[in-house]
Amino acid sequence: MKIGVWVLSEGIDPSTLERLGDARLIADQIGTRVGVFVTGVDRIQAGSLISHGADRVEHVTARPGAQSILATAAVALARHRPRLVLACGDCRGRELGSRLAVRMGWRWASPALMVRAQEQDLEITELDPTQRRARKVSLRPDEPVVMTLKPGVGEAMPADPNRSGEVTEVNPVREAESVRRVQFVPADPVTMDIRYAEKLVAGGRGVGSKEGFDGLRRFAVRLGAGVAASRMVVDLGWLEYERQVGQTGKTVAPGLYIACGISGASHHLEGMSGSEHVVAINTDPEAPIFRIAHLGLVGDLHEILQRVGEGLKE
């Protein structure tokens, strides 16, 4: 049986197993096998990938440049003529996945929410460029597609230690780099899209006024974070809509989310509950935001931010 569904992964992390779980489900629906193509690490625990649903693991044995990784993936996957390739929805995954799709002339779906089989066709649910509306795209068996799933969207399968599979070491295809890295310029957290910020300082009605956000901005600059807001703040005109977090705004999942004067209404929590670390500052000890916060501070947010900001300067 051919390997028609592939997971493209740089290293192995929880998101790899999530995409592998979705790959296993769709492969069983269309009657094919699952492969995992791994780059970026010297050693892998192939047994873990196989126990979580892979039938074949192909591991690039060296760490070539980006162009060689692309060339190696193109050669390896073209040999199997896949129906579906699942890449990670982070920056690196989107870059490699999109370049692979263009190089091979395959369809591209990003970011996607799910994929299902409809008889012999594949039906992909993907978000539009605003990431606020979803649409469905149907693909025939002769239309290979590369799609991305953000971490947390897929669901890993329970490990089955009795599963067996193949493991192959792949020598990289040497290809001249088309892009030369001269300097890395990090994105400015003040202006970057809040969906991609690693740290966010978010303000709610408790900030008090539009002028109150000046203090939040100063603190965010010291912290190297972006500024976000609740829906109420945007409705009051204190901050622009592009920085709204919540059900009617943007969904964010930074490493650090500091909620200042935000009570924690359900529509706001829906947009930020995936944050790795949540710090909540509020004068109301019963505020719902404290239920999901990893650290809660009861007090005046301006005074707390000023004291913490002074500590950051030192």
CATH topology of domain 3-170: Rossmann fold (3.40.50)
| Mean residue pLDDT across the chain | 91
Q: What is the pLDDT of residues 207-229, one digit of tens each?
A: 999 999 999 999 999 999 999 99
Return the domain boundaries, the chain: 3-170, 194-313
Q: Which H/E stretch holds residue 127?
A: strand 121-127
Q: In this structure, what DSSP letter does residue 158 have? A: P
Amino acid at 167: V
Q: What is the pLDDT of residues 143-185, one digit of tens each?
A: 999 999 988 889 999 999 999 999 999 888 876 666 667 888 8
Q: What is the pLDDT of residues 228-263, one digit of tens each?
A: 999 999 999 999 999 999 999 999 999 999 999 999
**Superfamily classification of domain 194-313:** TPP-binding domain (3.40.50.1220)
The two domains 3-170 and 194-313 share their CATH topology (first three levels equal)? yes
The whole-angstrom separation of Cα 26 and Cα 300 is 51
- Residues in a beta bridge with 149: 88, 112
Q: Model confidence at 314, in pLDDT bands (50, 70, 90)?
A: low
